[in-house]
Amino acid sequence: MFHPTCLGDPRNHDISKGSGGSTGEALPQWDLSDLYAATDDPKLAADLDRAEAEAQALEAEAAGKLEGMSGDALAAVIERFERVEEILGRAVSYAQLRFSGDATDSENGRFYQTMQERATAIGSHLLFLTLELNRLDDAVLERKLRESSALAAWESWLRDLRVFRPHQLSDEVEKLLHEKEVTGRSAWNRLFDETVAAMKVRVGEEELTVSAALNKLSDRDRSVREAAAKGVSAAFGGQVKLFSLITNTLAKDKEILDNWRRYPRPGSSRNRANMVEDEVVDALVSAVREAYPRLSHRYYSMKAKWLGMERMQHWDRNAPLPDEDDRTIPWLEAKERVFKAYNAFSPELASVGQRFFDNPWIDVPPRPGKASGAFAHPTVPSVHPYLLLNYHGKSRDVMTLAHELGHGVHQVLAADQGYLRSGTPLTLAETASVFGEMLTFRAVLDAETDPVRRRALLAGKVEDMLNTVVRQIAFYTFETRLHDARRKGELSAEQIGEIWMGVQTESLGPAFEFTPDYSVYWAYIPHFVHSPFYVYAYAFGDCLVNALYGVYQSGAVPDFQAKYLDLLRAGGTLRHRELLAPFGLDASDPGFWRKGLDVIAGFIDELEQPVAGAAA
């Protein structure tokens, strides 16, 4: 529980958008000293020693005694538990952010591993608490909650903890799994990260980082896109045995653990963590897959015609459109666009966002060794979040800034709930980020009077939405098929590639033909390694925001902005049904997902209309 989640932009799970060029500005970099001054900061060592002493004391005083405690005494134990967990979260956050800043620095890797090992060892003394709480009878816990207002404040956290009650193992097994994590999944994660960070991709005469090479896939020159695509294929093809081993090992590891915990299927544990029912996820996935023909298939057929092609290759998917404005957008202009959009919706929302620009909380410039893509890291409530970007000055980079700033603002507003209650399930964590994007896009679109540029903006937004919804559900389908197939035996790189090519063909449609070397492109998507079955959360968030924004535009809900800020402040204390109820929305309604998908379809309808002066 001491490892906060980094929340990223779905556009960056496949390629990092932008030209790969520089804006020529001095771009801001983060200063992590609000966490710790350095890896040898005496405060870090003192914090860990204090956490260890407090964890040992808590175990000695409370283990085996929770059932007999009064509600007030139990609340006090949970408060002490939270304080220790926050110290561990702070230390591991610092190590993770240093590692993300440069994974090629061996000292950063060593320090990150050391912090994880130390935090895991200290956390072993705290493990008794959650295990014992889940063993309490419902009637016993309900009585304690009624009798103690202090414990009642923890009711939402206890509710979410007890979701995992049917899947809890014996104390000895739970402790073993906890302590072996640092030599299990997290070690494979580190191997993946360090391998990708150290890789070089040849594109023409250049040797580029993976991130820079992927950026070339959106270059206006088709020959550059093709060279980049072939370079990426060659680089990952050369390492495909290693990536296949990582994938096979983690999938088998997950199967073993899921069987022990009695999860009905591979995605169930993620759904429990997201506090969403398997059936709700199934409804989302089915709705999106049924919509492939009217969404991605239809759009990409139009794009092929705009590009003057009968069929596109995979390296054409993110090609700029003929009418697209490909000028470099300075960082200061990007900040201004996003701030204005946030401020027009809610000055309070914008003022929270402004803190990230006034302080060194964002790391913006691309550089060797830095994590690709973008993410927001909440760290701990007593400090503040940090954002990581790779800014190349393109319009979609502006949208990435709007997305990550939404996460950051959400994390700041939820911080008052405290360390244990501020964390939001992934499905709802994407609400603020995608809503921030929508605010920014609508502001730019509404200000554009030229019909040709307006259509280019609209097409760019459709591509982003397809990447967020269609692409991520295709990734989810890939994971599901891969994990199901892995249960029958280890998969070869060729078998994994066949699954990948199948879902790409199905989701993107007949406008594409895929060269065989595209079959290795699954290998660099980090969510398959770091957080299996995470990706549908982006589609969940996008469809949810489309419906939510529709309510906002309609004016049907009084004081919408205040209710929206309350939604963000709630953190993890409320479930999706409770959070959406003030807006008249219900994610369990089968029609809910169609509302969100209809927004994308409506944009495509508009793009189908001829525009004078636009490319045919």
In whole angstroms, how far apart are CA 294 and each of 470, 507, 587?
11, 11, 22
pLDDT band at 11 (very low <50, low <70, confident <90, very high): low
For 520, the token pair is 């290795």
Residues 92-103: tens digit of each pLDDT:
999 999 999 999
CATH code of 89's domain = 1.20.140.70
Residue 490 counted as domain residue: no
Residue 565 counted as domain residue: yes
Which residue is listed with tokens 């561990």? Answer: 88
**Nearest residue to 387 (alpha-carbon basis) of 23, 444, 395, 397:** 397
Residue 587 counted as domain residue: no
What was the pLDDT predicted at 394?
85
Which segments of 361-485 are extended strands (E)? 362-363, 375-377, 386-388
Using an 8 Å Cβ cutoff, are 91 and 47 in contact? yes
Q: How far apart are CA 55 and CA 572, in angstroms?
A: 24
Residues 206-253: tens digit of each pLDDT:
999 998 899 899 999 999 999 999 999 999 999 999 999 999 999 999
Residues 44 and 179 in one domain: yes
Residues 214 and 101 in one domain: no
Q: What contacts 510, CB < 8 A, 6 or more positions away?
A: 297, 301, 311
Percent of the chain with pLDDT over 70: 95
Residue 272 counted as domain residue: no
Average per-residue pLDDT in the chain?
Answer: 92
Residues 444 and 338 in one domain: yes
pLDDT (mean) for 481-495: 98
Find the helix or strand (DSSP H, E) in which 312 lies.
strand 312-313
pLDDT (mean) for 86-113: 96
Which residue is listed with tokens 């620009």? Answer: 357
Using an 8 Å Cβ cutoff, are 299 and 291 in contact? no
Residues 426-473: tens digit of each pLDDT:
888 889 999 999 999 999 999 989 888 888 889 999 999 999 999 999
Q: How far apart are CA 25 and CA 34, in angstroms?
A: 25
Residues 42 and 84 in one domain: yes
pLDDT (mean) for 172-199: 93
For 180, the token pair is 């072996």
Residues 514-533: tens digit of each pLDDT:
999 999 999 999 999 999 99
Residue 220 DSSP label: S
The dihedral sign for the CA sequence 594, 598, 604, 610: positive
Q: What contacts 368, CB < 8 A, 6 or more positions away?
A: 102, 104, 209
Residue 319 DSSP label: P
Residues 211 and 142 in one domain: no
Residue 548 counted as domain residue: yes
Asked if pLDDT for residue 19 goes beyond 50, the answer is no
pLDDT band at 14 (very low <50, low <70, confident <90, very high): very low
For 341, the token pair is 């959009």
pLDDT band at 3 (very low <50, low <70, confident <90, very high): very low
The b-or-e profile of 449-485 (16+ CB within 10 A means b, else e) is eeebbbbbbbbbbbbbbbbbbbbbbbbbbbbbbbbeb
**Taking the mean position of all CA atoms in its chain, how far away is CA 46?**
32
CATH code of 545's domain = 3.40.390
Residues 165 and 210 in one domain: no
Using an 8 Å Cβ cutoff, are 187 and 117 in contact? no
Residues 56 and 153 in one domain: yes
Q: How far apart are CA 526 and CA 219, in angstroms?
A: 23
Q: Is 39 exposed, middle or buried (0-12, 13-18, 19+ CB in 10 A)?
A: middle
Residue 489 counted as domain residue: no
Residues 405 and 342 in one domain: yes
Residues 172 and 205 in one domain: no
Residues 50 and 167 in one domain: yes
Which segments of 145-279 are extended strands (E)? 201-203, 206-208
Residue 45 counted as domain residue: yes
The dihedral sign for the CA sequence 127, 128, 129, 132: positive
Q: What contacts 404, CB < 8 A, 6 or more positions away?
A: 8, 9, 374, 375, 376, 387, 388, 389, 433
What was the pLDDT predicted at 8?
62
Residues 584-612: tens digit of each pLDDT:
998 888 788 888 899 999 999 999 988 76
312: β partners: 512
Residues 226 and 172 in one domain: no
What was the pLDDT predicted at 453?
87
What was the pLDDT predicted at 595?
86
pLDDT (mean) for 394-408: 93
Between 322 and 152, the higher pLDDT residue: 152
Find the Cα–Cα–Cα–Cα dihedral 497, 474, 426, 85, rounded to 10°: 0
Domain with 343 in it: 331-467+538-569
Residues 373-388: tens digit of each pLDDT:
899 999 999 999 999 9
Q: Which of 528, 554, 569 is the last residue of a domain?
A: 569
Domain count, the chain: 3
Residues 326-357: tens digit of each pLDDT:
788 999 999 999 999 999 999 999 999 999 99
pLDDT (mean) for 156-185: 94
Percent of the chain with pLDDT over 90: 82
Q: How far apart are CA 231 and CA 499, in angstroms?
A: 22
**Nearest residue to 590 (alpha-carbon basis) of 286, 255, 161, 352:** 286
Residues 205 and 147 in one domain: no
Residue 222 counted as domain residue: yes
